Amino acid sequence: MTISELKAYWISFSKVSKKVIIALIISLDSFLGLLYQSGLLNLVDFFLLDNLPTDFVWLLQTFQLICMGFFGVKILFDDVPESNIRNILVGLSPLLLILHVLLSLHILLLGQKLEASMYFDFGALTRSTLTWSSTYLAIAMGCTLTYSVQRYGNFAQSEFFMLGMYVGIAFMWTDWLFPLSDAPADGTLVWSLFLYVLVGAFVLTGLAGIIIDRLVFKGFRDRKSSSDVMMIASLGVAMILRALVYLRFGANTKRFIPDSDWMVAEQRWEIPTITMNLNLGSSLDYDIVWDGTTNYAYNNAFLPIVVFGSVFLLYLLLTYTRLGRRMRAVADNPELAASSGINVERVQLTSAFLSAGISGAGGAVFGMTVLFNPQTAFTLLLPAFAVIVLGTIGSVPGAIGASLIIGFVRAISEPILSGIGNPLERTNYFALGGVIPYALIIAILLIMPEGIGRAYEKWKIEKLRKRAKSKEKADNRISALMGFFFGWAGAHHFHQNRSSRGASMLLLSIMSFGIGKATSFMRENSFFGKTVTSAPEGLDSSMHSDWLNLINTEQTIIGVLGFIGDVLWPFLPIAIYLLAIYESYLIWNNNYKDLLHKPLTFVIDKFDDFSARLSNINSSITTSFTDIFSGTNKSLDSFSMHLSSFSSSNVEKIKKLPDRFFDMIDAKYGRESERGSKALFWIFFAILLLVVYWLPSVSYFAKTLQVSNFIVTMSIFLILAYSLNLHTGMTGLLNFGIIFFASIGAIVVGILTAPSDYYGYDWDVFPALIVAMIVGAVFGWFLAYPTARLKSDYFAIITISLGEIVRILLMGEPLLRAGGNASAIGIQRYTLPLQEWWFCGSNPPLSSSGTELSPIGCSTTSGIDSMASTVGDIIRLGQPAPYMMLLAVIALVGVVFVWKSLDLLSKSPWGRILRSIREDEEVAQHHGHDIMTHKAASLAFGAAIAAFAGALWAWKLTGFQPSFMSPSKSTFLVWAAFIIGGAGNNRGMLIGAMIIALTEFFFNVLVAAQGSSSLPLSGTAKSIDSLFSWLITSPMEVAIILMIITVIGFALRLWNLAEISFWLSLVFIICEFLFDSRSVILVFPSILGGVKTQMAYVKVFLIGCLILLSLKFNPKGLLPEVPYRPARPNPVGQSSENAITAISNTDESSIEAEVIRDE
């Protein structure tokens, strides 16, 4: 058979058949490689003279085989036509994928002649599934509301979950409730603190959501900002909230304890379970035990109860109330909703309150289950995004189902990873369970980005269409019988195709049952009905009376709740059943009418009238309050007008100053002209250089080291910002995983240049760097193709997930360790570029034992003729120059090379193509450009640049742990430099990187100054500490000052100032009542110096503020992109001056996409 015949034969196959054949070939290759070491990767290893690690080969082959299972599911979703068999397979796809993973592991173990034993406790799996799914769902529901109503992915949603956790701590520390938490265990649960925290967390975090929405996101909505801008703004909000919590509560782990009895092991449910011991590998068998038991502690069990109960109530609110219908209307079309009379802004505020409140309530209960710190909540954010993507954005039922699926996969991964870890000599594999949610979100976005909720909605729509087309009517007699037997569940309404009424009856019955059982449990496990005359032994005597008063109050509360539960269950289902029997009688006689329509309409109308009156009262109060400060006080009004006129005239004068400057230098388009951009760049650059020179240090040598360190740090962030600018600023790819590509450079260079005695390869630095950049480019290229069709926010989620996967793998995978012993986490002892030449010269001297001195030994040995000594003598250091100086030179050379390369790229035809893709992919494709290839090339080039920055970062650290990849220490800072500097402008990247690096060094100086009054900036540090102490210990004084500013703002019609100061004053008033002296003593003990500012978190706070301020007031950055302005043509026979007048006046600042040129 000739090649042309083979091609024709291949073309004759259908699309599905081609994909299946490719999947089978790749699976066969993995199968042969794992079992018989005869795969393609084994052949590559053969040609490389067996230099590839054996573990690396079989790990890649196993990964390849597992990926083919996911590829098969994608074929099922995309290419298999609709049928009952397909629907069944789609529903079983999670289970089928788990079985495929187990089969892949079995093949791996067979090939390695090993055996793994996995222990599955199905009761424990159920418990773990509920715990994980409820944890993810608490954040996911808030994200779902924000995404559906306000149309952006909120990266600050996990911070509301965090606020809920710390609201529990604040309530627990209050003088009022502390006796309950501090009392020793006495065998009886106390519920007061738990209930107060649950309500308080919902209300206070909901209020925080409103405040943040008013102060931050409302301004972006008013300006019609894109969802990408609002998502980036949420990063700034997240940094601010996390920094504030770190500053107020510290970094130590804490746990919410409503009562000591909640933490006692005996307080639990015992659940019957089935256990199975599964053996994979050389002996495939299993053993099942049917009569086991597992425990579910109360403090863990109430997390799913509270979260799923809250989501259930939210679903009722969104589905069966007018508020829910208004929220859905705003989510579908805000403009149409507004034209229909819906107050869109009020709906936005309600959405902000509910989304933050439900996450805060979940966080408060989560705080009972684990020890946590402010970083804990962020680790749950991306799995929550996986929930909303799998469940379909905006679908509450889809989110519930998706959370259960992801929670189950997360739970079952633990026994699987633990089981295979020991035989594969990877005892830390149990820690890789954290990778599973991130891998899942990537798989979900690649396989079914529309989610299961969309499939559910399509199924409902199709069902309604079939019902509308069907002319058959339900048999009234069957409906009546169903109502007689199952009326409490609304069965007769379901049969009559009145699903809404049937669902209402069913949900009310279920809700009454749940409330009845919950209140009954609370009565049985509390002090209700008991005579309590004394406090528990061991409680401080000063708290006895407070504890007794709280218990007496609790007995009343539990009694009231128990009475409500007794009324709801069973009397509410009985009333529903009696109504159903009567409705069934009417249906039987063909005389059905809605008995509840008039009463419900009357109640709803009355409620709407009451709401309208409240709204009118609120409006009249607001108007009267405004009149007080405007029309009624003529002198104040006149003063306000004069002040406004004076300030506006001065503001106009200030605004004209830049125009005058640009006119002086003949920059027609200001900052967006080449000449204006360069002029501003040199001004900013000079100012920042002066700041670097001003940074204090203790000695000349310390100043040299400080400047060198600054140059290296700035260069790292600058090169990463260049990479981000290529991806996002030029190509329009929202890359939140820049640290993923940087980590590739750091890991590859570190492992390849580490000593072979310590699991490295002894490579030279330069070849290792080239390989690292190539590997980064390959990853970037192949990332483009599966993600090409995803929306920008989905692409951002995938890239940040990749970074988190690598960070967790660094903790558990032995192949990613070098430079230490087998169990040492991280990479160290790798070769630094030119370090030996720098300290030892071209011929390293010998030690007394006859061995060559190491670079460190040379640096401490006098008399060695080296470059470090020469440079040290030239600049009069009095000792060899530090290696950081050489690294600074290397960094600057790299910066210049990258900058010039990108500058040439931006001016080339390819650069213009990338910008046209950024502006409008369809227009660029219409002009004949291959969008996929250009995106892949952009990702590859940017990834190689980021890999170089990662290698530079590794050299600076001289050894690194997984913590260096934390997004708050890497990705978010690069984004801050990108936003502040100006997207699309390489000069702006330099200014932004310098600002971010300077904040790091400035606060390092402040940290040192806090410890000694003789150090520079000690006065500044002391002033910051004094201000912070005042804010912590005297919040009411702060609130009063802010309220005065609010009144002045209203009086002078400075509405923005008045609103900001009002909301901030409300925050400090809450702090006054929420934080007692105990919260200060426990966080800032006097033995550690009392109330002191953690400068590192002040830095994070300021960077978050810089992101928000830049996006709000200077969205294009300090140095905006200079648009491409081609020279106007000169018609033949005309002078250039006449040519200008002959050509129609066009907008030269129009977007480059309109002037696409491909040479």
- pLDDT for 1138: 44
pLDDT tens profile 724-754: 999 999 998 888 889 999 999 999 999 999 9
- pLDDT for 166: 96
Q: Would you place residue 787 in the very low, low, confident or very high pLDDT band (cuts 50, 70, 90)?
A: confident
Q: Would you place residue 1142 in the very low, low, confident or very high pLDDT band (cuts 50, 70, 90)?
A: very low
Output the six-digit token pair for 906: 């931006």
Of 160-164, 172-176, 333-337, 684-688, give the lowest mean pLDDT range.
Answer: 333-337
Kindly report whether the global pTM for this prediction surpasses the value 0.85: yes
Count of all residues that appear for the chain in the document: 1159
Q: What is the mean pLDDT of the segment spanning 239-265?
A: 93
- pLDDT for 647: 56
Of 273-282, 368-377, 655-664, give the lowest mean pLDDT range.
Answer: 655-664
pLDDT tens profile 746-772: 999 999 999 988 888 999 999 999 999
pLDDT tens profile 258-302: 999 999 888 999 989 999 999 998 878 888 888 788 899 999 999
Of 164-168, 470-474, 1117-1121, give the lowest mean pLDDT range.
Answer: 470-474
- pLDDT for 666: 78
Higher local confidence (pLDDT), 285 or 160 = 160
- pLDDT for 740: 93
Buried b (16+ CB within 10 A) or exposed e, 928-940: ebebeebbbbbbb
User: Cα dist. 349→233, 363, 1088 in Å?
Assistant: 18, 21, 42
pLDDT tens profile 828-876: 999 999 988 888 887 777 776 777 788 888 877 777 878 888 898 898 8
- pLDDT for 1130: 58
Residue whose pair of structure tokens reads 């909000």 in the numeric block? 237
Across the chain, mean pLDDT equals 86
Q: Residue 631 pLDDT > 60, yes or no?
A: no
The answer to whether 963 and 684 have CB atoms below 8 angstroms apart is no
Q: Residue 231 pLDDT > 60, yes or no?
A: yes
pLDDT tens profile 790-817: 777 788 888 888 888 899 888 888 888 8
Q: Would you place residue 907 in the very low, low, confident or very high pLDDT band (cuts 50, 70, 90)?
A: confident
> Helix, strand, or coil here: 960?
strand
Most trustworthy range by pLDDT among 790-804, 882-896, 995-1009: 882-896
- pLDDT for 1159: 36
State the DSSP string of 552-615: HHHHHHHHHHHHHHHIIIIIHHHHHHHHHHHHHHHHHTT----TTHHHHHHHHHHHHHHHHHHH
Q: How far apart are CA 42 and CA 61, in angstroms?
A: 9
Of 130-139, 457-466, 688-697, give the lowest mean pLDDT range.
Answer: 457-466
How many other C-beta atoms can be found within 10 angstroms of the C-beta atom of residue 919? 15
Q: What is the mean pLDDT of the segment spanning 366-389?
A: 90
Residues 962, 963, 969, CA angle at the centre, nearest 5°?
130
Q: Would you place residue 1158 in the very low, low, confident or very high pLDDT band (cuts 50, 70, 90)?
A: very low
DSSP H or E stretch at residue 276: strand 268-281
pLDDT tens profile 325-352: 888 888 888 888 888 888 888 899 999 9
Q: Residue 391 pLDDT > 60, yes or no?
A: yes
Q: Residue 712 pLDDT > 90, yes or no?
A: yes
pLDDT tens profile 935-947: 999 999 999 999 9
- pLDDT for 203: 96
DSSP 8-class letter at 818: B
State the DSSP string of 1110-1127: HHHH-TT-SS------PP
- pLDDT for 1129: 62
- pLDDT for 635: 52
- pLDDT for 1157: 40
Q: Residue 210 pLDDT > 70, yes or no?
A: yes
Query: How do 268-281 and 285-297 pair as beta strands?
Result: antiparallel
Q: Residue 499 pLDDT > 60, yes or no?
A: yes
Higher local confidence (pLDDT), 885 or 87 = 885
